[in-house]
Each structure stands twice: as structure tokens, then as C-alpha cells.
Structure 1
Amino acid sequence: MSATSIALVTAAAARDLDEDLPPLAAALRDAGMDFHIVDWDDAAVDWAQFGLAVLRSTWDYTMRLPEFLAWAERVSAATRLVNPLDVVRWNTDKHYLGDLARAGVPTVSSHFIEPGEDAGVLLERFLNVHASQEFVVKPTVGAGSRDAQRYGHEERELALAHSMRLLEAGRSVLLQPYLDRVDVHGETALVYVAGAFSHAIRKGPLLHRGGEPTRALFAAEHITPRVPHADELRVAESALAAMPFEQPLLYARVDLIRDGADKPCVLELELTEPSLFFAHGDGAAQRFAQALLETLRNS
């Protein structure tokens, strides 16, 4: 290995689940680039031997966030981490949705309950604001719909119990109205590479009433290609412009959902370890490989 080698960083549990790795590996080989697929928590890895460490599928970090952030800090001191450490710190906790909303970006209405706060009072306050809608309870540190669940107002006791389980584990809670346009329209995820729009996909609805929150790394998804509407592109680009970081980032994914007025709003801004759905965008893996090459040259 050398300073021109790239580490594609994953997790042992995610290696066989990351559908982006095979096409990306093929694109990197075709470009003549040296790369290695490595687990983020492999203590035997010497990160200084890589020119870039690229976060790709470190999907088990959500239950190990302090450990993961400490690792990211060490790696950042040894090589160039992409996306960078300050992005990782900000984006691994969904409190960032509040930052986007305060910046004027259309987002799904987001309310937070912190450990030590009165969950019952705050849940009732939220339900009074969103009186006519189903709602979602999820942890602020989470991915792939893990530990997320959809509820009706008549299930507030179940929702409170869910919230308390998260809070008792030291996890902050995110409450959001369930925007039922997703049941028909799905989510639109827009992928950007080196600041430029690459491709988009449609995700089918993931949360269903009466089920249990998934305990797997991520919930099963139904993915198809999608051409985004002009209003979706505008909202996605407003979210990227509002990020408090030097731009452009190597990669970003903006997940949008339509509200009751049929306006797109940000559900999540994925900057740390998102699936980029290369299989659903012609030339997407090749564009990403080229962006990696340019990033490496400029390191």
C-alpha cells in the first residue's frame, strides 16, 4: 500500500450487504486505482498507509457512536477522511435537521426529546401540534429505519414506551409527523458527487403500522430509478447550500418526502455512510471513481 491507495471503509456486518461496493470496486479497477476494502474497527489497519479513507458502509456505528467518532478523529490525523470529520460529527446525529430548518430549508417538522426531559409532556405537546396526523418515533442517532416506528394518536402509550426505551438507553428521541404522501409517491433520494447531481431513486414506504421497529442494520427497501422534479432539485440544492462546511463534499444524498401541500421537504441529509445506489444511475460508479481520483490528486 502507498499514499496513492484508497481505503473503502465498511463494517464486517455490512460487507455482504453493501450493494455499492462491487460496482465501485469494478470502476476503481477499470481506472487503474489501488484500493482496499477495510473494516473501520479493525485494529490491525495502519490508516497512514492510505491516501484516502472513504466512508462507505460503516452501518453499525449507530450503536457505537462515541467509539466511531473517536476512530474518525484518529483516522483524520493519519490520512484524509472523506467525508471529513466535522461533517461526520454533525451528520451522525439528526439534530442537524433543526439546523437546516433554522436556515430556511424545507424539512419535515422535527421535535426532540433529550434524556432527562419529561417524555410524556413533550410527546403530548407534539401531538397537540400535529393533531390530525400519524407520527414517527425514532432515535436521533440511527440509520436505515432501525428503531423507528409509525404510530397513530390512539397508540400514544406505545409511542411513549418506545421513547422511554430510547431515553433510558441514553439516546435522544426524534418525533416527526408521518407524511402520508409517501405511501403513494415514496421518497426521492438525490445523489450528488463532488457537488454535482448524479442520479436519483425512489424508495417505497418503509414504516408500517402495527409492526415492530427493525433490529437489523437497515430495513428492507424497494428501490427504483427516478427522475427528480424541478422542485425536488431546488430543495435538495438548498439543503446542500445550507451545510455549515466547506463545499463541495465528495458525496451527499438528500432524501425528500412530499408534505400535505405536495411540497418536497428534507427527511434526511446523508453525508456519512449512505447507500448511493450506483446500480440505478448509469455511469454513477464511474463518476464516483473519477471524483475519488481527483480528490486523491488534490490531497
Structure 2
Amino acid sequence: MTAIALATAADLPALVDDDSSFLAALRDRGVTATPVVWSDESVAWDDFDAVVIRSTWDYYRRPDEFAAWIDRVDAASPTVLNPPETLRWNRHKFYLRDLAARGVDTFPTEYVQRGADASLAAVFERRDWDEAVVKPAVSAGAFETKRIARGEAATEQPWFDDLLADRDVLVQEFADGITAGEWSLVFFDGDYSHAVLKRPEAGDFRVQEDHGGSVAAETPSESLRERASEVVDAVRAERGGTVPLYARVDGIGRAEPERFENTARSGPAFRLLEVELIEPELFFRVDADAGERLAEALLDRL
């Protein structure tokens, strides 16, 4: 019987409720699917045929430990999905620079190395931005993320310096379209599955439900699906042809084209915020068949 570990975090030992349909779909197919805490050092990972990264949601708070765990599970015998080399690449948000180089429309971004002597005021001046979002390169859930207006640059500089002392940092032009909603389009084995639109609470810019945001099932336009599919294609090209088992493409869709980091398109535009390949919420709850689709895609690889 196939045995699969579904890697999760210590505070989510049974996975999140949203993953229940995926778990059930595996068990219906005769698979022994077991939630396992990634940081539990007693686990023998080579007891499993595969390890699927699901809800390791604390990894960004323990980045060195998580990196060491990737190495450890990579050295064991099971198939790891998404693959370890993809996890290493995607855990650090400088991957956006790689996708931008492949023509993906991304938000204008300054990639600032840890320990750099960098000035927020200089970034605003050079880029001619009115607002920016500053975030660590290894983060999730709006961790250590701030929206900063141009006039606040001097006041926020000490915080920025403290952040840079410990981490690589991204400074991005603020996505003013975020108030209209952020799309999350989910792909399994390179094929589009379903989507949601996430909206922030009034007066906020963070779409995460932990910060008051909301999630609703929505049907994206064909153009938006095509743009998101191009992001997955760019990931595949960047990863040497490897198609991710799952990918969640997050971005802002607009009715009219705008200026982008790389290219200008006609028709509805899509600008990438992130492509989540490590531990994204996949919103199984909005599509009754999504768990079945991912289970089938997974078993086809084993």
C-alpha cells in the first residue's frame, strides 16, 4: 500500500480543515495518507513513499531549520512534492526576479540584500513611487510587512535598517488595485483547477483572513487564466522543465493594461504578486472536485 506523508506544522498536526477533501480522496484510493509535523526530529521520512508539502506554515519563522529539513528529506528515499530544488528556490522571494527575467509581468521591485546600506527615501526618489510595500524575502501571511508612503520614508528608516540587519528584503511598488481584490488561481500538474478572489478589509491592504480579509469563489476570465498559465510555464522553464504538482498563482487583474516591469499587454492585464509552490492554501472548499484532481495528479507521479 502506498504511504504518503503530508507535511504540516506543529500547531496544525491534523492539517487544516480545508485539506480534508484531498485527504479523503487519497484514502478512497487506498493510500495511507498521514499528516506529519515537518520539524518532528523523530520522524523516519524514508518510511514513506512520498512526502507532500502541505501546511508547513511556520517555515518562514525558522528558515535555517526548514532549509536543513529540506536537505534531510531530500537525502531520504521518498519522492518529495513539490521537489526539494523547487522548495529551495520558491522559499526566497527573490525568485520573482527570475520570473521577471522570463517576461512575467511583476510589480516593480527593489531586491535589497541583507546588511545593505539602503535608503527608503532614495528608493522612492529613484522609482518615483508614492507608496511601497516592504517585506522580508522569506515570509508568509504578511509577516513583517509594511505599507509605507513616500512621506514616511525617513520615519520608517530605522525599522527598515533593523529588518535589513537580519534578512534580505523586497521593496515593491504598492499594488493600488489590491482593494478590488487579489486573484489566486490554482493549478495541478500544470493544468488550471479553480480560483478565488481575496479582498482586504476596508482600510487595510492585507487580504489574508487572519487580517480581516475575505475569500470568495470566482471565475476568472479566459485572459486571466492564460496569463496565470504563462506564469506556471515560466516556473517550469526556470526549474529545468519540472512541472510543479501544485501551484497557486497570486496576482492583480485589471480591466485595462498598465505599465509593467517587463512587457505591456493589450486586453485584461495580470500582474504577478507571488507564485506559491511550498505550502499554499489551495481553497479546496470552493470546488468539490479539487481534492480529487490533486489526488489523481499526485498518484500519477508515483
Gaps of 5+ in 1: none
Change over 3 Å in CA distance of 1:61–1:96 after alignment to 2: same
Q: Is contact 2:129-2:173 (8 Å) kept?
A: no
How far did residue 137 of structure 1 move?
Answer: 0.8
Opposite residue 197 of structure 2, the aligned amino acid is R
The one of 237, 242, 246 aligned to 1:247: 242
How far did residue 14 of structure 1 move?
Answer: 3.2
Change over 3 Å in CA distance of 1:40–1:220 after alignment to 2: farther
Q: Is contact 1:145-1:206 (8 Å) kept?
A: no
Residue of structure 1 equivalent to 2:121:
124
Structure 1 residue 32 corresponds to structure 2 residue 27: no
Residue of structure 2 equivalent to 1:266:
272
Residue of structure 2 equivalent to 1:86:
85
Change over 3 Å in CA distance of 1:16–1:81 after alignment to 2: closer
Map 1:95-114; keep pairs closer than 5 Å: 95-114=94-113
Map 1:1-299; keep pairs closer than 5 Å: 4-15=2-13, 18-78=16-76, 79-120=78-119, 123-168=120-165, 170-184=166-180, 186-205=181-200, 219-243=211-235, 244-245=238-239, 246-258=241-253, 261=258, 263-296=269-302
Query: After superposition, what is the alpha-carbon deviation per residue over 1:151-210, rounded to whole angstroms, capped at 9, x for unaligned?
Result: 211221343233222112x201111111211212x011110011110001101137956x
| Stretch moving more, 83-92 or 219-228 | 219-228
Q: Secondary structure of the equivalent of 2:96?
A: helix
How far did residue 263 of structure 1 move?
Answer: 2.3
Change over 3 Å in CA distance of 1:253–1:110 after alignment to 2: same
Q: Is contact 2:209-2:215 (8 Å) kept?
A: no
How far did residue 16 of structure 1 move?
Answer: 6.5
State the aligned residue count: 287
Q: Is contact 1:194-1:291 (8 Å) kept?
A: yes
| Stretch moving more, 35-44 or 217-226 | 217-226
| Stretch moving more, 79-88 or 150-159 | 150-159
Q: Identity of counterpart residues, as a percentage? A: 38
Opposite residue 82 of structure 1, the aligned amino acid is L
How far did residue 32 of structure 1 move?
Answer: 2.3
Change over 3 Å in CA distance of 1:132–1:258 after alignment to 2: farther
Q: Secondary structure of the equivalent of 2:27?
A: helix
Q: Is contact 1:146-1:219 (8 Å) kept?
A: no
| Distance in 2 separating the partners of 1:53 and 1:206 | 36
Opposite residue 226 of structure 1, the aligned amino acid is E
Q: Secondary structure of the equivalent of 1:162?
A: helix
| Distance in 1 separating the partners of 2:140 and 2:17 | 16
Q: Secondary structure of the equivalent of 1:143?
A: coil
Q: Is contact 1:144-1:217 (8 Å) kept?
A: no
Residue of structure 1 equivalent to 2:265:
none
How far did residue 147 of structure 1 move?
Answer: 1.2
TM-score (norm 1): 0.88
| Distance in 2 separating the partners of 1:139 and 1:110 | 12
| Distance in 2 separating the partners of 1:21 and 1:165 | 37
Gaps of 5+ in 2: 259-267
Q: RMSD value over aligned CA atoms? A: 2.4
Change over 3 Å in CA distance of 1:218–1:166 after alignment to 2: farther
How far did residue 218 of structure 1 move?
Answer: 5.9
TM-score (norm 2): 0.87
